[in-house]
Structure formats: structure tokens, C-alpha cells
């Protein structure tokens, strides 16, 4: 699978960070990628657009939830869509799952046109969130057997398939218990089992681990990784940056319905995630020179410095150890003794915050339902 640098797209009204970063004109980055995609891509989105109208009878103002989104996901890879609340993630995956009709654009799943022929692709996709609550009084096994029968398997085939799923998702010990007695993590695994029971080519996971404890989350991660070993492609939305970091081959950061940046977690961190420099100074220096320390760090860093406590100051920096050396040297020149200085590596979280800050608190649009 091709690894590439993070791209940031120059949209019509780019947020502040898009202007500062290396830009790729719209239509040559993501759209270009999509244009050269072949059928080796399990999923291709081209110019995907969805506009909602709010207010009674849909007569209110319009809101473009997904705006000309381009995306291609190579077969067998995991692609994460990240974005702040209201960025358009669920709307996007709902369109891919054929639950919502796009206003414009193309969705190709294994080369099949999902907009023109939704029923033709439904057998190719599985989506989480649909199966966990089929019937709480039935056992996990019985629930899965029922789902398999709904996919057209005979009772015998469905039993075999349900048992395979139970074993694969580590639910063997609880297989015969009523599902209402399952923990949140077990329900989520059962739901995942339901999403993959028909061996879909593309599995869509909308926030698959939200609300799970760390152990439950790790179990789901493991199950997701195993799926890709079998060649399944995963499209994932998540609010957990560490989840994207742990799982995703590629990440698309969406912002106000449009692709704002994309790349591997590593390339995004390298290109958009500033490291943080923390310096600790002596107490006398802190008392006498705190404003000068802030000014010096502002010169060295790439953001606004902050004072963490009486003695420690922090600022975002571009260059790793070089910034430590220049901080110590510059502070010494103004008679500030540094007790400790260190640089922490960028995280995907810092990338996310940097890229989505301007809209993180934007208003949401309430409105009409448009689910098929
Ligand atoms: N049925 C609908 N009618 C009107 N507006 C909608 C509808 N569904 C979504 N929206 C709006 O479209 C925008 C995108 O919503 P969406 O749920 O796709 O975002 P999201 O990125 O999944 O957010 P979250 O992380 O909060 O789930 C939001 O402004 C939302 O209010």
C-alpha cells in the first residue's frame, strides 16, 4: 500500500492553518488521487456532497454537511476519518453504507457504483451499530445465527458461520448467555460480528469503541486488525486520536464537510504536529524573569508559550533537539538558569487540534431527516 506525505487541501475558504501549511490546490490532491484510482481501491469517493435543509418541512437554511469529498481506500487497508463534532463523518459513512443518498458525487465500492445501484453493493458492505440490539433475550449465538439467516444462509450454514464469528470475536464463553447480560465491550464485539458475518469486502465502523474501557477498546482493535489480515477493507470514524494512530494506514481529517488534510498518521504528525518544548527554570529566575522567559520562548517556538506552573514553561516548536539548545542558550543570555529542558514528540492529537481548531466550537445544524 502506498505511503505518502500528508497533503493539506486549499479549499475555497481555507481555515487559517491551511494557508500556513504546504497546500495542494483542490482537484490535484485528493481529487487527483481518486482520479488515478483503479479497482484495487475497495472504496473511491469523488466529489461526494450532501446538503441538509433545516427548519419545518425543510424550508429553513441549507447546510452542506459533506462538500465535494474525494477519498480512495486501497483494498485491505484501514482508513480513518477524523474531524470535530459536526464535521460530516457520520453523513459520509451513511452515504457509503447506502443509508443516505448523496446530492452529488460518486461512490465506487469494489468498482461498483453505489449511488446508481445501491442494492448491488449492499452485499459488499457491513456496518457496525446495526446488530448489537437485535434481541436481548436471545443468546449471542442465536442473535448471530438470525443475522446470518437474514443474509440468506440456511439454518445449518448460519449456525456454522455464527459459531465461527463467536470464536473469532472471543465470545465463546458467553455464547449461550442472553445478550442482555453482556458487557458494553461484549455487545460491541457481537455487533462487529454481525457486521462481518456476510464476509463483506468493506466494513464501515462509525466510532466502534466509543464508551468502551481500555481493555474493551483493545479487544475491538485486535479484531479490526485481524479483519484486514483476511483482506477486508475498513472505513472507520473515530473521536479517539490514539485509535487512528493505532489502526489506520491512512487518515483523512475532515473539516466543515471537506477534506482538510490527509496522510499516514506518521506523515500528518511530521508535517502538521508540532513538538512541544518544556523548560524548567530556577525559582529565582522564575520570580525575576518570567515575562522574559515567555518572550524568549515565543521567539523560539511556533505558537504562544504558556506557563505550566511556578517553574515550568512550554511552547510548540518545529525542530526537536535544536530548539532545546537554542532555548538554553537564549535563556542563559538573559541570566535565566535552566534546570531541565525537553521536547515531546508530536501526537496525532496535536495535529487534530491544529487542523480543526477554528471550527471545533462551530454551531450545529438541527434539521430534517433524510434517511432512505
Ligand atoms: N438529518 C439531518 N438533517 C439536518 N442536518 C443534519 C442531519 N444530519 C446531520 N446534519 C448536520 O450535518 C452536519 C454533519 O453532521 P454529521 O453527523 O455527519 O457530523 P459528524 O462529523 O459525524 O459529527 P459527530 O462527531 O458529532 O457525530 C452537522 O452540522 C449536522 O448537524
Predicted confidence (pLDDT) per residue in 220-270, tens digit? 898 899 888 888 999 999 877 788 889 999 999 888 888 888 999 888 887
Q: What is the mean pLDDT of residues 331-351?
A: 86
Calpha distance 313→281 (Å, rounded)? 8
Q: Is 129 in the pocket of ligand 1 (CB under 6 A)?
A: no
Determine the distance separating the centroid of ligand 1 and the alpha carbon of 179, expressed in angstroms. Answer: 30
Q: Which residues contact 85 (CB under 8 A, 6 or more apart)?
A: 360, 364
Handedness of CA 279, 281, 286, 290 (dihedral sign): negative
Q: Which of 65, 244, 367 best tests ligand 1's pocket when mutated (most atoms within 8 Å of CB)?
A: 65
Task: Let me know: does 212 contact 188? Beta carbons within 8 Å.
Answer: yes
Q: Grid coordinates standing for 86?
A: 459536526
What pLDDT digit, counting tens, does each position of 122-172 carry?
A: 889 999 876 655 678 899 999 999 989 988 899 999 999 999 999 988 899
Residue 52 CA: distances (Å) to CA of 20, 47, 48, 175, 285: 31, 16, 14, 42, 57
With a 6 Å cutoff on the Cβ, whether 372 touches ligand 1 is no
Strands (E), the chain: 7-10, 24-25, 41-53, 62-74, 78-82, 104-109, 112-113, 125-127, 202-206, 233-237, 250-255, 258-263, 275-281, 306-307, 312-317, 338-344
Taking CA atoms only, the protein residue closest to ligand 1 atom 18 is 88
Out of 86, 352, 367, mutate this one to test ligand 1's pocket (max ligand atoms within 8 Å of CB): namely 86
* 83 Cα–ligand 1 center, Å: 12
* Gap from CA of 27 to ligand 1 centroid (Å): 25
Q: Which residues have C-beta within 8 Å of that of residue 327, sequence separation ≥ 6?
A: 277, 279, 296, 297, 300, 338, 341
With 0-12 / 13-18 / 19 or more C-beta atoms within 10 angstroms meaning exposed / middle / buried, residue 115 is middle
Residue 84 DSSP symbol? S
pLDDT on residue 260: 85
Ligand 1 centroid – CA 85 distance (Å):
8
Looking at the predicted structure, is the pLDDT value of residue 58 above 90? no
The domain over range 273-351 is classified in CATH as 3.20.20.70 = no
Q: Which of 203, 201, 202 is nearest to 191 (CA)?
A: 203
Q: Residue 369: pLDDT above 70?
A: no
Task: Compute the distance between CA of residue 290 and CA of residue 303 in angstroms, rounded to an integer.
Answer: 17
Whether the Cβ atoms of residue 165 and residue 135 lie closer than 8 Å to each other? no
pLDDT band of 303, cuts 50, 70, 90: confident
Q: Where are the domains of the chain?
A: 41-270, 273-351
Length of the chain: 372
For ligand 1, say whether the CB of 87 is within 6 Å of any of its atoms. Answer: yes
Quick one: pLDDT at residue 284?
92
Query: Cell numbers of 63, please?
Result: 447546510
User: pTM above 0.80?
Assistant: no
- The preferred substitution site among 56, 82, 87 for testing ligand 1, maximizing ligand atoms within 8 Å of CB, is 87
Listed residue (220, 273, 271, 270) closest to 246, CA to CA: 220
230 alpha carbon – ligand 1 mean position (Å) = 33
> Mean pLDDT, to the nearest integer, of 50-61?
79
CA angle 30–32–34, rounded 5-degree value = 70
β-bridge mates for residue 341, sequence order: 279
Instruction: State which of 90, 243, 252 you would mutate to test the pocket of ligand 1, scoring each by most atoms of that ligand within 8 A of its C-beta.
Output: 90
State the residue for C-alpha cell 524573569: 289
C-alpha cell at 143: 442473535
The residue whose CA has the least distance to atom 26 of ligand 1 is: 85
Q: Which CATH superfamily is domain 41-270 in?
A: P-loop containing nucleotide triphosphate hydrolases (3.40.50.300)
Does ligand 1 have an atom closer than 6 angstroms to the CB of 85?
Answer: yes
Q: Which three cell numbers stand for residue 198?
A: 456476510
Residue position matching grid coordinates 470514524: 237
Per-residue confidence band for 355, with pLDDT thresholds at 50, 70 and 90: confident
Ligand 1: distance of its center to the CA of 365 in Å? Answer: 7
Amino acid at each position: 500500500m502506498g505511503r505518502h506525505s500528508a497533503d493539506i487541501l486549499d479549499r475555497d475558504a481555507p481555515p487559517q492553518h491551511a494557508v500556513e501549511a504546504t497546500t495542494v490546490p483542490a482537484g490535484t490532491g485528493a481529487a487527483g488521487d481518486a482520479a488515478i484510482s483503479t479497482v484495487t481501491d475497495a472504496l473511491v469517493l469523488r466529489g461526494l456532497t450532501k446538503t441538509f435543509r433545516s427548519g419545518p418541512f425543510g424550508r429553513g437554511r441549507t447546510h452542506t454537511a459533506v462538500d465535494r469529498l474525494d477519498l480512495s481506500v486501497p483494498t485491505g487497508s484501514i482508513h480513518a476519518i477524523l474531524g470535530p463534532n459536526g464535521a460530516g463523518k457520520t453523513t459520509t459513512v451513511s452515504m457509503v453504507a447506502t443509508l443516505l443518498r448523496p446530492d452529488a458525487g460518486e461512490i465506487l465500492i469494489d468498482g461498483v457504483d453505489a449511488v446508481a445501484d445501491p442494492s448491488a453493493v449492499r452485499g459488499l458492505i457491513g456496518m457496525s451499530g446495526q446488530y448489537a440490539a437485535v434481541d436481548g433475550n436471545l443468546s449471542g449465538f442465536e442473535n448471530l445465527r438470525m443475522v446470518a439467516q437474514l443474509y440468506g444462509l440456511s439454518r445449518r450454514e448460519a449456525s456454522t458461520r455464527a459459531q465461527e464469528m463467536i470464536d473469532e470475536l472471543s465470545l465463546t464463553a458467553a455464547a449461550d448467555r442472553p445478550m442482555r447480560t453482556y458487557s458494553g465491550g461484549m455487545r460491541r464485539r457481537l455487533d462487529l460480528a454481525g457486521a462481518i458475518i456476510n464476509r463483506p469486502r468493506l466494513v464501515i465502523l462509525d466510532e466502534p469503541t466509543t464508551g468502551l474501557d481500555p481493555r474493551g477498546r483493545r479487544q475491538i482493535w485486535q479484531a479490526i486488525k485481524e479483519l484486514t489480515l483476511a483482506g477486508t477493507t475498513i472505513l472507520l470514524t473515530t473521536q479517539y486520536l490514539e485509535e487512528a494512530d493505532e489502526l489506520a494506514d491512512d487518515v483523512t481529517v475532515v473539516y466543515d464537510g471537506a477534506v482538510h488534510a490527509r496522510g499516514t498518521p506518521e506523515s500528518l504528525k511530521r508535517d502538521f504536529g508540532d513538538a512541544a518544548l518544556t523548560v524548567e527554570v530556577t525559582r529565582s529566575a522564575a520570580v525575576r524573569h518570567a515575562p522574559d522567559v515567555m518572550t524568549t520562548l515565543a521567539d523560539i517556538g511556533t505558537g504562544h508559550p504558556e506557563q505550566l506552573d511556578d517553574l515550568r514553561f512550554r511552547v510548540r516548536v518545529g525542530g526537536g533537539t535544536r530548539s532545546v539548545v537554542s532555548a538554553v542558550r537564549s535563556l542563559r543570555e538573559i541570566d535565566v538558569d535552566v534546570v531541565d529542558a525537553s521536547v515531546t514528540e508530536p501526537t496525532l492529537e496535536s495535529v487534530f487540534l491544529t487542523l480543526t481548531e477554528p471550527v471545533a466550537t462551530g454551531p450545529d445544524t438541527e434539521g430534517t431527516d433524510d434517511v432512505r
